[in-house]
Amino acid sequence: MDSFDIFKKLSVGAKFKKPEKIAIHPEDDKSTAKQIKVKTVGDRVPEALSTFDMMKEAYSLSPVLMENLKNSGYTVPTPIQTQAIPVMLQKRQIFACAPTGSGKTAAFLVPIIHHLNKPLNKGFRALIVSPTRELAKQTLRECTRLCEGIGLRAHTFTKINKDKEKFNPKLAQKFDILIATPNRLVFLLQQEPPAVELNNIEWLIIDESDKLFETGVRGFRDQLAIIYKACGPNAKRAMFSATYTVEVAKWSKKNLDGLIAVTVGNRNTTTTMVEQELVFVGNEEGKLIAMRDLVKKGLSPPVLIFLQSKERAKELFSELIYDGINVDAIHADRTQQQRDNTVKAFREGKIWVLICTELMGRGIDFKGVNLVVNYDFPSSAISYIHRIGRTGRAGRSGKAVTFFTNDDKPMLRSIATVMRDSGCPVPDYMLEMKRLHKNTRRKLEKQSIDRNEIRAKPHRYHKPNADIKDPASSKSKKESNDKSKKVKVKKNLVSIINVDQTSKVDKKRKLNVSKERKVVKKTKKSSV
Ligand SMILES: Nc1ncnc2c1ncn2[C@@H]1O[C@H](COP(=O)(O)OP(=O)(O)OP(=O)(O)O)[C@@H](O)[C@H]1O
């Protein structure tokens, strides 16, 4: 029996039957469409659209915009679009919650493009706030596509053209729509004089609103307060997200006059298009074995692999690149240019497996991702929903595999509950596990688990799991450090031997691995 057979014996992974295909469009399948409930709360809710043509008749949508929708392949509105578009076309403020990959971007872009109508040369009139630069760029692409032939121009800030961003009223006047991350925007707003003018904003869209309301390290909430103030009291606001949090709902109810809340399907569930699997892997070595087994069985690219930190993303990259997998990694330690290149290469199919952190967990729309692997267990149910939502988008099916170890037990119940609520059968024992107190859960969500390094060789001196006694744990730290150094040196020798047998690109990437390993060792703190 080899190590993999042992792993299989140990595994209590739950394999789930593939969900039935559910229609993204009401017309695709009338019976299933009825199951996608669109709930609204608010006064005088506008009639939902059943076709895009209804917008032309009821709201005189421009033929060019209608044509652009058609050219994007949008022939029938998705459930969120059926309701959010008419709400915004009537200039009502909205709080919208709809599953991942269900077309929320077009749901807010179409009404703002309609309202802005044509370029006025008076600067930004609509602002879309996105949590990451990658998402901002993606939204810019969709916006540019939908604005074609209308003359409206959208802009996003990047670090690369930092200098050009210095207050330049002429440059800013050419643009109508600004798509920005809160960090960058607040930085520019706080320049003396402000490097960006938001006085004319008519629509303020907060994409991934629950993320931006998190009171995290970056203090998104404080940043949003600065942005709101800069936009002035007349800007209409719209909040969009795939996940619901009480904080955003309460804030919206209190602050948005005439609010209409729109919810598609059940709150905080995953899309039904994703087949979900939870796999117990014992410990960190088990994860690598399980990962290699997935490869052995045959991966169907594109594949996304999520890790909890940039250090771990680098470590897994170092392992998988040796296996000859067409892999790359994206995380906060890479330059903006490197991140852009990696995203582009993955979109173009030049990279098949992309290792990433929470940075890519939200909003990113890679076409046709077949598999999401949660190599590290997500820190919260919300994170799980967004991560696995990178597959099963726009009516396509997908698969998500989540590895867990003994260390992940405390959060297992909440993920299992999301799976059950999304229609996946889960073993009863997971649902019967102890429910964590709200405060404990929040604390756990904020701190990432201290995990052993990802390495092919067994960890002779790894942190012992609760159930496994490690005979080496009593040895002095110095001794174990010395031994692990020896293993590292050996591995680097192996990499040099392999380099000769590979292509030029692989040679370069593999040689970088040794350098990256050293950096990983130094920066052991966990962040994306
Ligand atoms: N009416 C439509 N018909 C067909 N495809 C659509 C339609 N609207 C949007 N799409 C496509 O669906 C995919 C997902 O859309 P989008 O990225 O807006 O999802 P989302 O709801 O914002 O997801 P997330 O919550 O993950 O950010 C995109 O590829 C988009 O082009």
Last residue of a domain, one of 431, 451, 469: 469
Distance 248 CA to ligand 1 centre (A): 22
Does any domain span residue 25? no
Give domain status of residue 50, yes or no.
Answer: yes
- The verdict on the CB of residue 387 being under 6 Å from ligand 1 is no
Number of the ligand 1 atom closest to the C-alpha atom of 76: 1
Span from the CA of 304 to the centroid of ligand 1 (angstroms): 18
C-alpha 17/C-alpha 71 separation (Å) is: 36
Q: Where are the beta strands (DSSP E) in 181-273?
A: 203-207, 236-241, 260-264
- Interatomic CA distance for residues 443 and 166, integer angstroms: 40
Q: Which two tokens stand for residue 394?
A: 């726009």
What average pLDDT does the structure give for the chain?
A: 81
Per-residue model confidence (pLDDT) at position 476: 40
- Whether residue 445 is predicted with pLDDT greater than 90 in this model: the reply is no
Residue that terminates a domain, selected from 264, 291, 317: 264
| Within a domain: 2 | no
**How many CB atoms are located within 10 Å of the residue 56 CB?**
14
Cα 187 off chain centre by: 24
> Is the CB–ligand 1 distance for residue 108 below 6 Å?
no
Structural tokens at position 173: 């006047």
CB of residue 393 inside a 6 A radius of ligand 1: yes
Shared domain check, 155 and 54: yes
363 lines ligand 1 (CB under 6 A): yes
Q: Is the CB of 285 under 6 A from ligand 1?
A: no
**Residue holding tokens 């496994």?**
468
Residue 512 contacts residue 333 (beta carbons within 8 Å) = no
| pLDDT tens readout for residues 157-211 | 866 455 555 656 667 889 999 999 998 999 889 888 888 899 999 999 999 998 8
Provide DSSP, 263-274.
Answer: EESSTT---TTE
Residue 275, both tokens: 């087949």
- Domain span including residue 388: 274-469
How far is residue 51 from each of residues 26, 30, 66, 89, measured CA to CA in Å? Answer: 9, 14, 11, 15
Distance separating alpha carbons of residues 392 and 242, to the nearest angstrom: 14
Residue 31 lies in a domain: no
**CB of 448 closer than 8 Å to CB of 526:** yes
Q: Give the count of domains, the chain.
A: 3
Q: Which helix (H) or strand (E) is 144 found in, with range?
A: helix 133-146
State the CATH number of the domain containing residue 446.
Answer: 3.40.50.300
Place of tokens 């594949």: 303
Residue 324's pLDDT is: 87
Evaluate whether 280 touches 401 at the Cβ level (below 8 Å). no
How much is the pTM? 0.81
186: three-class secondary structure by DSSP: helix
Specify whether 49 is located in the same domain as 145: yes
Q: How far apart are the first and last CA of the chain?
A: 38
Q: Which amino acid is at 491?
A: K
Are 182 and 306 contained in the same domain? no
- Reduced DSSP (H G I as helix, E B as strand, rest coil) percent helix, strand, coil of the chain, to 5: 45, 15, 45
Ligand 1 centre distance from Cα of residue 249 (Å): 23
pLDDT in tens, 478-513: 444 444 443 333 333 322 222 233 344 455 555 555
Domain shared by 458 and 476, yes or no? no
Q: Is 52 in the pocket of ligand 1 (CB under 6 A)?
A: no
410 preceded by a cis bond (ω within 30 of 0): no
pLDDT in tens, 355-371: 999 999 999 999 999 99
Which atom of ligand 1 is closest in space to residue 390's alpha carbon? 26
Q: Separation of 440 CA from ligand 1 center, angstroms?
A: 35
**pLDDT tens digits, 295-336:** 999 999 999 999 999 999 999 999 999 888 999 999 999 998
My answer on whether 386 and 432 are in the same domain is yes
Asked if residue 264 has its Cβ within 6 Å of ligand 1, the reply is no
